[in-house]
């Protein structure tokens, strides 16, 4: 077997093992402790729904396992904020002064059509390149004044901060 690490976007609710089994309509197996603390986990980024009240796949996780695998989407490190952007989420620092500011991942298309470029020079390059041009991934920012800044660069303070959060 090989070792893996992953980042998933989930919803979670504290729930004992017994409460989870009751919720699913299942009897508690004789060899399990119903008082075990844990979480009902709903996977938002994949898996077919397995309960009529949930859009995603749900399961139960023991608290110690859960706490080692997941962190809240507030108070994240910059590394976790990057992972959230790679998963399609928008992120922001809690301490940013501007209202409505956020970051998102852009680009990452190996064959962007020439018509998608609004810059004359990049559009001409795409045409000369057979009608498309590769666009590498980049971080963009929605500013407090409503502009989109492409190619945002993090300061050392931003990279070392632990106040990143997913913006909904």
Q: What is the pLDDT of residues 31-50, one digit of tens each?
A: 999 999 999 999 987 779 99
133 or 99: which leads in pLDDT = 133
Measure the CA–CA gap between 8 and 88, rounded to whole angstroms.
11
Contact indicator for 58, 40 with CB cutoff of 8 Å: yes
pLDDT value of position 24: 95
Q: Cα-Cα-Cα-Cα dihedral of 77, 81, 82, 87, to 10°?
A: 140
pTM over 0.85, yes/no = no
Contacts with 3 (C-beta within 8 Å, 6 or more apart), sequence order = none
Question: What tokens appear for 98 in the block?
Answer: 């501007």
Helix (H) or strand (E) holding 163, with range, is none
* pLDDT value of residue 35: 97
In tens, the pLDDT along 6-18 reads 677 789 999 999 9
Q: How many CB atoms lie within 10 A of CB 54?
A: 14
| Residue 76, beta-bridge partner list | 164
Edge-to-edge order in the sheet of strand 57-62:
10-14, 38-43, 57-62
pLDDT on residue 41:
93
At 4 the pLDDT is 65
User: What is the end-to-end Cα distance of the chain in Å, rounded?
Assistant: 37
């Amino acid at each position: 077997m090989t070792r893996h690490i992953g980042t998933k976007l989930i919803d979670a609710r504290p729930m004992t093992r017994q409460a989870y089994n009751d919720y699913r309509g299942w009897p508690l197996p004789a060899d399990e402790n119903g008082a075990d603390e844990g979480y009902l986990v709903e996977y938002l980024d994949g898996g077919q729904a397995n309960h009529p009240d949930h859009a995603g796949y749900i399961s139960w996780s023991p608290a110690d396992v859960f706490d080692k695998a997941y962190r809240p989407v507030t108070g994240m490190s910059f590394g976790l904020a990057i992972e959230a952007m790679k998963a399609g989420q928008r992120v922001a620092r809690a301490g940013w002064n501007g209202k409505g500011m956020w970051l998102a991942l852009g680009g990452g298309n190996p064959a962007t059509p020439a018509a998608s470029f609004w810059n004359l020079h990049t559009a001409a390059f795409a045409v000369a390149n057979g009608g498309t041009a590769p666009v590498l991934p980049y971080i963009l920012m929605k500013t407090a004044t409503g502009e989109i800044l492409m190619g945002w660069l993090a300061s050392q303070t931003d990279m070392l901060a632990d106040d990143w959060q997913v913006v909904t």
